[in-house]
Amino acid sequence: MKAPHRYHDFEKDISGCGVFGVIARDRELIPGDMPIKAMCTMHDRGNGLGGGFAAYGIYPDLADYWCFHLMCDDQAGLERAEEVLKHFFEIKEAQPIPTRRTPVVTNPPVLWRFFLKVKDARPKWKERDEKDYIVSVVMHINQNVPGAFVASSGKNMGAFKGVGFPEDMADFYRLDEYKAYIWTGHNRFPTNTPGWWGGAHPFTLLDWSIVHNGEISSYGINRRYLCEHDYLCTLMTDTEVVAYLLDMLVRRHKLSLRMASWVFSPPFWDDVARMPKEQQDAFKALRMVYGSACLNGPFAILVTAGDFMMGLNDRVKLRPLVVAEEGKRVYMSSEESSIREVSGTLDKVWAPKAGEPVIATLEN
């Protein structure tokens, strides 16, 4: 066996992928330069096959409308998707997502955003509430409209992602021109799923947004379970199931975020055996009802919606996650260095325990 070169004797264990998030609990708007700078610190955690950001509070003048960010293979795909949207919604505004030419982003898809209102006389799914109606339309487009899929579908938020390093995507999407009170970012190092525009993080549904470092080895079970509840996984990346499971568990089934985290990252059975009987019964019930929603494999995820950000590790903590506080801001990241790169004097820094969620919510 050939001996390693002396300069390569010590290699950095990057553990694949990098995540970053910040929430201003007082809704102070944070310029896009800040999360971009934080992600640049973790450049080596990716390989250029996926980068992206999610931002909340970026469309205040249209905050009451559902905003669909669409990615389409070509103009024909966009036209097919627009016909579907016209069928299900009243379109308030439709416009290309602003981009700039960058030398490293080649052959991007057709990118468009639509601000939508649900029709008073719905053509389909009349028995469902408004959010279930939105979910149904998203699943319909992603499954049945050739050459088009929905990158995000919330209110006053959007996902901006694609093939490239996160700083490339930020430049391409002109994110330095945006301000938001919640930002998340992702630098992808795909392992067993393809690097393509739709497979980049974040993954979203309604106001949910997920960025993830690791692998969901339970993807097959999770996907089949979601199909039983009318969620269709079409984006060829394991992280997609996390967004849909959260929508089902928290919005539809009314579990708290804490309970959802126990479903995703449950305590070991020997730990459950040492709990008081009432707690034992509760954890056994969660496992019996939601066993197919458990996330196996190494992971660190950041979950955001319009009013909170949550960080969660797997129950063995096989992927890094660091949390910090500075005044009204809470940061979560794969590396402490990315937080210190964009912050002043931090009030508190810690690494959450395995399987223990950290939830930062807006004031009021």
> Would you call the peptide bond into 109 cis, given omega within 30 degrees of 0 as the criterion?
no
Question: Which residue's entry shows tokens 């439709």?
Answer: 94
> Tokens at residue 287, please?
């496992």
Phi, psi of 23 (to 5 degrees): -130, 130
The letter for the amino acid at 246 is L
Residues 253 and 246: their CA atoms lie apart, in Å, by: 10
The residue from 17, 67, 72, 294 that is catalytic is 17
Helix runs in the chain, H state only = 33-41, 75-88, 130-144, 166-172, 219-227, 240-246, 257-264, 269-273, 277-290, 336-342
Neighbouring CB atoms inside 10 A of 187's CB total 34
Residues 131 and 76: their CA atoms lie apart, in Å, by: 28
Residues 109 and 261: their CA atoms lie apart, in Å, by: 35
Assess whether 17 carries a catalytic annotation. Answer: yes
Task: Please count the residues of the chain.
Answer: 364
Q: Is 341 helix (H, G, I), strand (E, B) or coil?
A: helix
- Report the catalytic residues: 17
